[in-house]
Structure 1
């Protein structure tokens, strides 16, 4: 009970402090702008810790932040290896290859109406396929190491990036393109000086979507086969062992 009372007192104090900072004459300073969300985050952690311990929630259901932090400190070498395996080798490699290939393909599609009519419908179909269906196939094709995870990421990010880039290249109107022709601008000059800059909002929107898909794809792909390291591998193993503190450590 003392944990719950302590949590309530801390929450009231933190709330009052945040209100005071938000309405103070220093509210527009950099320190206060940093302090307000920091206090809010600390309050969430304290409430989490207090409620879990006060209500005696089993750690296999929800471990307290202190247990998760201790697990992170004790497992730094393991977490570092999992991060390199999943994020650097799998997600980041696939992200760069997939997004780069999508931009190049979008330019080729822009040059060829035939490819635009033939490839985009196929791309939309493949993009709609669930990852749990394509990941096992790619794991069997490319092996159980990071290459198969990168291949899954490439498939996941390629078509959303392709569609966004193709749409972005259409952002300029006919008058702007005609103006470039009156200046004797070639296709590539028009592309790099007019159309690609105009397409940047759509391209960055595709990159934003692909960022989320890349990490999801790399982690989920590890559920279907992986060496003895990786975030997805560790999560699946620790869930089976009821090691929820390690699962949360991987998430954080």
Structure 2
């Protein structure tokens, strides 16, 4: 099985690539950082194909897919994993550049890769698209504004893909993780402030990138006649918060 993973150089993508190769699959690992992809290829061998891809450069994606080597050209599974959060400021103080970058990566990039890969899956009547969303797409929180909105798009896009693909054997899942440590997510969100990023995970047992890699592998190797529409996962220490009320002094 050939699996194309965006954002494969770190975090969930790297963890999944390692598990897939160990289980006998081949991986097309896509990311912006060639040095990290090459380091992973040195470890995983010929079953891992490093491909430089910036999903926010949507115009480049069709040619990248077309130029894949013959033995990797058939994409059996697409894991749309590339994505990022930037900033935790309230909307009125947020950076418009951050908003646009999240939109370009989390929405436009995901759409462009899906658009390039999906027709061949439908033509073969076989394939699987897994979109990595977030609980932020369902549950708003302070400072989540545009990040949460992009993940709400990913959730609804996944459900609408399922509706469009009725009558085919192409599967679609939206995986919606909660708090996960051991990735670059919070370091990116806080623009490289490692101290702030570390505090996000203080005081409780959170999930790890390896946990999400295991879940993704389980999805990919699940029976082909089963479609898991949405899968929301959190650490036990995380749950839903009550509605917030700003009380005024009487």
Q: What is the TM-score of this pair, normalised by structure 2?
A: 0.23
Query: Which of structures 1 and 2 has the bigger CA Rg?
Result: 1
Q: What is the TM-score of this pair, normalised by structure 1?
A: 0.23
Between Structure 1 and Structure 2, the one with more helix by share is 1
